[in-house]
Chain A
Amino acid sequence: MQLLTLTVVLLLLTSIGYRLGRGKAVATAGGNPRLLHSLPRYHGYFVALWCGLPALLVVALWLVAEPSLVRHLVQSGLPDDTLAIGEERLNLLYNEVRNVARYGMTASSPVVEAAAQRYGELRATLFAAAAALALALASGGLAFAYQRIKSDLRARNRVESVVRVFLVVCSTVAIFTTIGIVLSLLFESLRFFQSVSPIEFLFGTTWSPQMAIRADQVGSSGAFGAVPLFAGTALISLIAMLVAVPLGLLSAIYMAEYAAPRFRAVAKPLLEILAGIPTVVYGFFAALSMAPMVRDFGSSMGLSIASESALVAGVVMGVMIIPFVSSLSDDIITAVPQSLREGSYGLGATKSETVKQVILPAALPGIVGGVLLAVSRAIGETMIVVMAAGLSANLTANPFEAVTTVTVQIVTLLVGDQEFDSPKTLAAFALGLVLFFVTLALNIVALHVVRKYREQYD
């Protein structure tokens, strides 16, 4: 609450700064903005930035640093014999102190009582200090910037360089996140490979990720051969692409070349709705509607189809990917220059000859790129396979059997209570690393292909 008030006050000061700066700039120029180096509003922004930016940074810093700072100070005030109880119990104690101070719980001992009191005082003092500092910075900044406004102040350049820094920060957030993810995958995988050899992981054909808790436990030996997972992923992706590529591509050709504009205007958004359905909905559609139907149909034909089969998961995933393929292909087919179509028709080619012999060859690189992107989507897809493909790591090419995929195993390895230093959980990171590299490679190749195609017609 106090924090909210402080923020509002700072924002108010900032907007006052904007008005003051703008007003002074206009006044300096005697009402003629053309005498100023920068437009009056840039002077306003200049003052507002000086006023708001440092103060808000202080508030943000306080938000981040407060908990650990208070904790340090509270703990250093505890009696020595209490400090000696060890790290974990100290944690519990500190939690109690916080609860007493903030939510009015009854303290279990006078030590806690005293510490809670101290906690409350420290927080209040620290907040007051932070608020005072922020307000001082805000008004100081305002005064400083206000006093600097002259007709030849390069306010626009200053403001724009601040904006540029802001843009740089925004754009690096994603990059640093990616780097962070890769590093964490890499280090955890390295820990995994200390207990399981990479050779076994990449080429072993048995996947049974158990680790013994006691040495004499039954079934204590775990096996981390990931080949069945790779095979399962490949099988399901293959089935998905067999569904998605022909359907997506042919519907794209129809939409782009044959359909009347009115039909296209309705059908294209409808098709794209498929992409908007949450994958979990696809998942239970596959598991609860498709799978029993396929199983019953199979048994009436005398085939044994598992109720969790690669076929169902793959087909449903393929349906999910159709709009991905069709939308990308449609864009690329539409981008083929009209002059090529006219050239072909002008020679007496029919529509289908034109599509087959001119448009598709011209669009092929782009379509291949789109399909590769779809493959990487299929490989990384999780929810549908978790619900419909099963958990048993069979090494099989039979689409009627249950298979499991890399993503499904990552989910099962990490769901529930786990120790985070056993090879069982670390295996998830290794699987994630493999997945990351495969999809990364596919995306790079796909983007490269698509870009190459673009250059051709610009």
Chain B
Amino acid sequence: MAQTSAAVAAPATSASQNTLADRRLAKVSARDVNVYYGEKHALKHVDLDIRANEVTALIGPSGCGKSTFLRCINRMNDLIDIARVAGSLTLDGDDIYDRKIDVVQLRARVGMVFQKPNPFPKSIYDNVAYGPRIHGMAKDQTELDEIVMTSLEKAGLLAEVKDRLDEAGTGLSGGQQQRLCIARAIAVSPEVILMDEPCSALDPIATAKVEELIDELRENFTIVIVTHSMQQAARVSQRTAFFHLGELVEVGDTEQIFTNPQHPLTQGYITGRFG
């Protein structure tokens, strides 16, 4: 860490050692990742490893860079003209920001679920079939049906919508829409699913369903979730990373972060003293 602030400097070493030790095991690995929005230095020297088949929660106060980091992993920051990413990010050892990487294929491997449910103004079926269609994943209609059904099933939505697959996806309730978006993301069989505050627009019951779903999805996918709810991070994740002012302050097993945080800032945040 070249540019650590005084507050972060002292106990942060444990966090970086924690991540540096297992880079080869990591699904996604970040080294010295910096993001600039024009003049603003939004993400500073982040080293973080994300393990396969685990849920990693990114927590921290608003504007701390956790969403920015998330959007680096599938290069969604490319869509913002003024954003610039420096450093090394790898997916299974392949550099994500390599020129040779086709961003279309990258996003097929790293799916994303957004804060606000954003189903396309199409039928439920077409929403889920959208990804498989553009990637030519199904040989014929039967195979496509199969993919759509399996995805809806995995997203825990099939029972609720199987009689109305032709109806508009926008007509579902908020929680159902979000699960439809999850089904849409898993339909392209990604390896990693990024979730940017997936429950912030949902009521507690819908939230509980989505959290349950995230836990089930861990079996087949690697999940990174940004959340503002500490309880949610504690409930669904195995590892938690705490960001503050664009820096990664601490990362560790969720249990350790919530019961025995190493850094005073982390402790302050999880006990609700700030943020």
Contact = CB atoms under 8 A, between A and B. Distances in A.
A454 B81 CA distance: 28
Nearest to A339: B118
A456 B134 contact: no
B131 A348 contact: yes
Interface in B54-78: 74, 76
B107 A347 contact: yes
B135 interface: yes
Contact of B104 (A339, A342, A350): A350
Question: Which one of B105, B119, B120 has the greatest number of beta carbons of chain A within 10 Å?
Answer: B120
A347 B114 contact: no
A350 B181 CA distance: 18
Contact of A346 (B107, B116, B121, B170): B107
Contacts of A345: 76, 79, 107
Interface string A328-364: 0000000001011111111111100100011001100
A348 B134 contact: yes
Contacts of A350: 104, 134
B108 interface: yes
A353 B185 contact: no
B188 A347 contact: yes
A456 B121 contact: yes
A261 interface: yes
Band of interface residues on A: 20 to 34
B111 interface: yes
A332 to B, nearest CB: 13
B108 A340 contact: no
A339 B104 CA distance: 18
A353 B130 CA distance: 10
B122 A361 contact: yes
B241 interface: no
B188 A340 contact: no
A342 B116 CA distance: 11
A346 B112 contact: yes
A45 B115 CA distance: 52
Interface string A160-181: 0000000000000000000000
A358 B135 contact: no
Contact of A349 (B104, B116, B119, B181): B104
A353 B134 contact: yes
B170 A456 contact: yes
A346 B130 contact: no
Nearest to A260: B81
A348 B188 contact: yes
A346 B190 CA distance: 11
B134 A347 contact: yes
A348 B104 contact: yes
Interface string B74-93: 10100101000000000000
A290 B79 CA distance: 43
Contact of A362 (B74, B121, B134, B184): B121
Nearest to A343: B118
Which 9 pairs from chain A and chain B are nearest by CB? A346-B112, A348-B107, A339-B118, A348-B108, A347-B131, A343-B118, A362-B121, A348-B104, A353-B134
Given A349-B130, A350-B104, A362-B120, 18 more contacts: A337-B118, A339-B114, A340-B121, A342-B76, A342-B114, A343-B181, A344-B130, A345-B76, A345-B79, A345-B107, A346-B74, A346-B111, A347-B134, A347-B188, A348-B104, A348-B105, A348-B134, A353-B134
16 contacts: A261-B81, A339-B114, A342-B79, A343-B114, A343-B184, A344-B130, A345-B107, A347-B112, A347-B130, A347-B184, A347-B185, A348-B135, A349-B130, A357-B120, A358-B120, A358-B130
